[in-house]
């Protein structure tokens, strides 16, 4: 079977991998739940390639992510639920419906008006979906219940916290300004200190969760993606720790051989070096 840029060939390959008797044993034993971790991982690898500015790697990672979509669609087709074409049909229908300012008669909207229109259409879709489930005698979707329904529980916790507070803010349940959120963070930090004195793990975890939630809310008030902010800090930590390790290696010493004070001095030096302007500045 030869490679091709035609999506039909990818669907053929996936079907061959899932054919009992002649397919791949590993692919055949998979189900929706077992490949979910790979789906999430591939999405993050797409993000990683973007953040590194590596377009060649991005091409490959997008292919890996597309494979996950094809894999899920193939398993659904085997169960008689839907096929890949239905997935494409659903998203094209959704995009056309949610962009009447492009594909319909509504014109000349500002970005803010487009966002409000999008939210209104999504709300209508949610109502229609509930009505359809009632008509078919199906139980309401648990994740769609209530005003905050529809925010996937599988999202990274920081992202989900941001979406929860943003949605609550739409009905006025929000701090008026960032300064009040900062005060709330100080309050939550004090509660962490109080909980830490008890030694009760569950209580400490609960208070740390409240602190993280408040910090995420602060990021939203500044229009900052908390996941992106933390990824940047993770990268900064890795970079500076690598500088510490490299400085010790230049002395033919390992991390285990250095004291905390030595590592702290090298850390500060790495931090200072990052902030100093380069020769071309």
pLDDT digits 0-9 by tens, 233-280: 999 999 999 999 999 999 999 999 999 999 999 999 999 998 876 554
pLDDT digits 0-9 by tens, 75-129: 999 999 999 999 999 999 999 999 999 999 888 899 999 988 988 998 888 888 8
Show the domain range for 130: 99-140
Q: Total structural domains in the chain?
A: 4
The pLDDT value given to residue 279: 52
The pLDDT value given to residue 55: 96
Q: Are residues 92 and 103 in the same domain?
A: no
Q: Are residues 110 and 174 in the same domain?
A: no
pLDDT digits 0-9 by tens, 56-69: 999 999 999 999 99
Query: Under a CB-based contact definition with an 8 Å cutoff, are residues 76 and 14 in contact?
Result: no
- The rounded distance, in Å, linking the Cα atoms of 48 and 7 is 25
Which domain CATH number covers 200?
Answer: 1.10.287.1080
Model pTM score: 0.68
């Amino acid at each position: 079977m030869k490679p091709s840029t035609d999506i039909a060939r990818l669907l053929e390959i996936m079907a061959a991998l899932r054919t009992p008797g002649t397919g791949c044993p590993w692919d055949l034993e998979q189900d929706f739940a077992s490949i979910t971790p790979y789906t999430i991982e591939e999405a993050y690898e797409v993000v990683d390639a973007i953040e590194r500015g590596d377009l060649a790697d991005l091409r490959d990672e997008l292919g890996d992510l597309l494979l996950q979509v094809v894999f899920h669609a193939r398993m659904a087709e085997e169960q008689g639920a839907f096929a890949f074409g239905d997935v494409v049909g659903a998203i094209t229908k959704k995009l056309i419906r949610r962009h009447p300012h492009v594909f319909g008669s509504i014109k000349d909207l500002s970005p803010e008006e487009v966002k409000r229109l999008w939210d209104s259409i999504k709300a209508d879709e949610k109502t229609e979906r509930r009505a359809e489930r009632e008509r078919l005698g199906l139980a309401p979707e648990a994740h769609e219940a209530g005003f905050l329904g529809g925010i996937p529980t599988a999202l990274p916790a920081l992202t989900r916290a941001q979406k929860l507070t943003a949605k609550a803010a739409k009905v006025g349940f929000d701090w008026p300004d960032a300064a009040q959120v900062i005060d709330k963070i100080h309050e939550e930090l004090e509660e962490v200190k109080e909980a830490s004195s008890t030694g009760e793990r569950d209580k400490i975890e609960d208070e740390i969760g409240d602190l993280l939630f408040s910090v995420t809310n602060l990021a939203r008030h500044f229009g900052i993606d908390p996941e992106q902010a933390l990824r940047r800090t993770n990268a900064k930590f890795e970079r500076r720790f690598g500088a510490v390790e490299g400085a010790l290696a230049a002395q033919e010493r390992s991390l285990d051989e250095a004291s905390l004070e030595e590592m702290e001095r090298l850390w500060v030096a790495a931090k200072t070096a990052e902030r100093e302007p380069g020769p071309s500045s």
